[in-house]
Amino acid sequence: MKLDRIDLRILSELQKNGRITNVELAELVHLSPSPCLMRVKKLQSEGYILNYSAQIDISKLGQTLTVFTEVTLKNHRRSDFARFLTAIEKVDGVMECHLISGGYDYLLKFVMPGIVEYQTTMERLLDLDIGIEKYFSFIVLKSPLIRTHLSLDTMFPA
């Protein structure tokens, strides 16, 4: 499916507000409601829209700790990466996992209740013997900028 300017505008608006009504969305992208809804459904069926979710202010629920962790594996066979990923996918506190080029293999983002829970999780992962050679932890002190949507017009000019 080749996307046009209107499709990109629809995606851009849905990134900002997934709860927008079809009528409001249609108005913003300069379509009538019926064709707008058809485009949204097509974008969903083609996999451009993965899901809709709510952003939660986690700080209102209680104190948390965000940690970025660099992980280096002992070996670099396909099976080593698969074993590591299988274990990491089961850890609730892992919010992101990125395979990285450079001096280490993975960059993980943990959100945990506190440092004790983070360290307990890391010790459990080491005990599982999933191939971790070493890891370095970077505790987030403050996050002055977090974006929740990309500027699709700039990144993908139609």
Q: What is the pLDDT of residues 98-142, one digit of tens each?
A: 999 999 999 999 999 999 999 999 999 999 999 999 999 999 999
Quick one: 103 exposed, middle or buried, by C-beta within 10 A (0-12, 13-18, 19+)?
exposed
pTM of the model: 0.87
Q: What is the mean pLDDT of residues 140-149?
A: 93
Confidence of residue 157 (pLDDT cuts 50, 70, 90): confident
Widest Cα–Cα separation across the chain = 58
> Residue 14 pLDDT > 80, yes or no?
yes
Dist CA 156 CA 158 (whole Å): 6
What SS3 state is found at 129? coil
